[in-house]
Amino acid sequence: MQADPGGRDQCDESGPPCKPCESLGVECRFERRAKRRGPPNKHAEAAKAAKHSRLDHNVLSSPLNAAETLVSMGSDEAGQRPLDAESIAPMSLLGLFVDDFFTYIHPLAPFPHEPTFRQAFANREDQSSPEFLALLASMVGMLVASFPRSARTHLKEQHSTQLYPRAIALIERCRLIAIQARGVHFANREEATVNEAATSYFLALAAGYTFQFKLFRRFMAEAMSFIQEMGHHRRRDPGQQPSAIEMMYAPAPRPINHIEDQIGKRIFWTMILGIR
């Protein structure tokens, strides 16, 4: 019992509950403080401080504060520049990488279509086409994984070594940009394209060259799946008539794009050659 304006006595040390509070029938709020004997226990004090810090962390991690954190993160992302080729490196440096790709990689993996790609690169289609941006990122990642010394030389010439001190950092950045450009709804698309198949193939080889074999198998299977969906794995016979079931359920045939058809076949046979 505590002293009050009514003149009641304070609690004694007989409780809780103390005798005055018990005789008056009121709630006793006496708190007996334990007296420590000997020097303080440093380990116990450290454990108590850690417990208080965890409690403070739990308060800060409440759903309300978590929601506020997500909102602030979303506002930060909204203020960032849009995703384009310069999210990887300056355009002058990317131009050198593209030249090296068609010099060293394209003779072994003859896709994508060089004139079409170079025209799209000059027109900065990376700013309007996520599919093209993903393809460009995968090509650069594949080139750096194959010729890391060439990439370091270009970085030094362009005074950009601070961007990527190690080649693996540039490869990982290219993979991240390619995945982000594809977007969260990439798997829900009804139809695949040859550029998407080429992107998966280049991502697979870049992963394989850096000893990330799970990613290698995943992207390689993805590329083969796209090629099979588009039918580039089988011989196209112009005189063959579709069956009644195919005519009923298959979508209306589209005009054949001969460039895409040849690129799809090149991807398929390059993959078969690599497997063999």
Nearest to 98, CA basis, from 120, 82, 83, 81: 120
Residue range 94-113: mean pLDDT, rounded: 96
pLDDT band (50, 70, 90) for residue 8? very low
- Tell me what pLDDT residue 82 has: 86
The pair of three-digit structure tokens given for residue 50, joined into one six-digit string: 């850690």
pLDDT in tens, 33-52: 655 566 656 556 655 665 55
Confidence of residue 72 (pLDDT cuts 50, 70, 90): very low
> Residue 2: its pLDDT value, please?
44
| Res. 192: pLDDT tops 70 | yes
Predicted TM-score (pTM) of the model is 0.66
What's residue 232's pLDDT?
Answer: 75
Question: What is residue 275's predicted lDDT score, i.e. its pLDDT?
Answer: 77
pLDDT at 75: 40
Q: Is pLDDT at 236 greater than 80 in this prediction?
A: no
Residue 14, φ and ψ in degrees, nearest 5: -85, -10
Residue 29 has pLDDT above 50, yes or no: yes
Of residues 206 and 44, which shows the higher confidence score? Answer: 206
Per DSSP, the three-state class of 256 is coil
Question: What's the average model confidence in pLDDT over 243-272?
Answer: 75
Q: What is the mean pLDDT of the chain?
A: 79
Where do runs of H (alpha helix) occur along the chain?
A: 19-24, 42-60, 63-78, 91-100, 114-122, 130-146, 148-157, 167-182, 194-209, 213-230, 244-249, 258-275
Residues 30 and 36 sit within 8 Å (Cβ to Cβ)? no
Output b/e per residue, 105-120; b: 16+ Cβ within 10 A: beeebbbbbeeebeeb
Express each pLDDT in 104-149 by its tens digit.
999 999 999 999 999 999 999 999 999 999 999 999 999 999 999 9
Q: In the predicted model, is pLDDT for residue 71 greater than 50?
A: no
